[in-house]
Amino acid sequence: MVEVDGVELACYRKVIDPTAFTLVHFHGNGECVGDYVPTMVDVFESFGLNSLFVEYREYGGSTGKAQLVAMLGDGEAAIKAADLEPEKVIVFGRSIGSLYAIELADRQPNIAGLILESGIADPSERFLTYADLKSAGLEEADVLAEVGLHFNHQMKLGDYRNPLLILHTENDGLIDISHAERNLEWAGSAEKKLVRFLFGNHNSIFPKNVQEYLDAVRDFVDGIGS
């Protein structure tokens, strides 16, 4: 349990080697940490990685209320609670988890690597398409202003210089692959790569491309460890 701002985050951690890199994982919106245990824990262990799966407020066994902006510092709190050195951390964000992976990379630019899977470049596009702004008493300008203030990925990724791997399917009907293309373009990384998958959609990208997906992540991790 990670305590932050009076709430508790029910994270999951596995250490196989205290000297190895730790993969810090942020899951998607319709998921929780429990969905990744033990399957993905075992996968990362096979890559020689420790793992820390960060749970969101109000998800799984966590307390508090899930609020996008309020949770921005939770990833940093989790790695500090685990006493992890940023240089030994590889950050992974899937879907909405990309918001928190990018935020952590911005706060801790010395992380060893960043992986974005089905990630979001501009959250305002999602809000303006799917949210009922009228019922919430919001105007489009309000949304754009808040997103620009808290989720400026062009600025955050522009300051990130270490290795970056982006995974996205061509057929993602929820978050178009143009988001991946923008994140790639914005990143200041000297080593950055976008792997485009031909099969699967937003929620089946992994099972429909298992071998290619795992090979891409393994190669990325091996490159950092070499």
Among candidates 48, 43, 56, 46, which has minimal Cα distance to 12? 56
Among candidates 138, 195, 188, which has minimal Cα distance to 165? 195
pLDDT recorded at residue 143: 76
Q: What is the pLDDT along the chain (226 residues), one digit of tens a residue?
A: 999 999 999 999 999 999 999 999 999 999 999 999 999 999 999 999 999 999 999 999 999 999 999 999 999 999 999 999 999 999 999 999 999 999 999 999 999 999 999 999 998 887 666 666 667 677 778 778 888 889 999 999 999 999 999 999 999 999 999 999 999 999 999 999 999 999 999 999 999 999 999 999 999 999 996 6
CATH number of 2-225: 3.40.50.1820
Which residue's entry shows tokens 């942020």?
Answer: 26
Q: What is the CA radius of gyration of the chain?
A: 17
Domains of the chain, residue spans? 2-225
* Total-model pTM: 0.94
At 198, list the tokens. 């031909």
The gap between the terminal CA atoms of the chain, to the nearest Å, is 33
**Alpha carbon distance 89, 217 (integer Å):** 14
**Alpha carbon distance 127, 108 (integer Å):** 27
pLDDT recorded at residue 77: 98
DSSP string for 66-104: --TTTTTTHHHHHHHHTT--GGGEEEEEETTHHHHHHHH
pLDDT recorded at residue 226: 66
pLDDT recorded at residue 47: 97
pLDDT recorded at residue 52: 98
The answer to whether 121 touches 153, Cβ cutoff 8 Å, is: yes
At 121, list the tokens. 């470049």
Which ranges in the chain belong to alpha helices (H)? 39-46, 74-81, 97-107, 123-130, 133-136, 140-150, 153-158, 177-186, 205-208, 210-225
What region does 5 belong to: left with phi over 0, alpha with psi -120 to 50, or beta?
A: left
* The residue type at 21: F
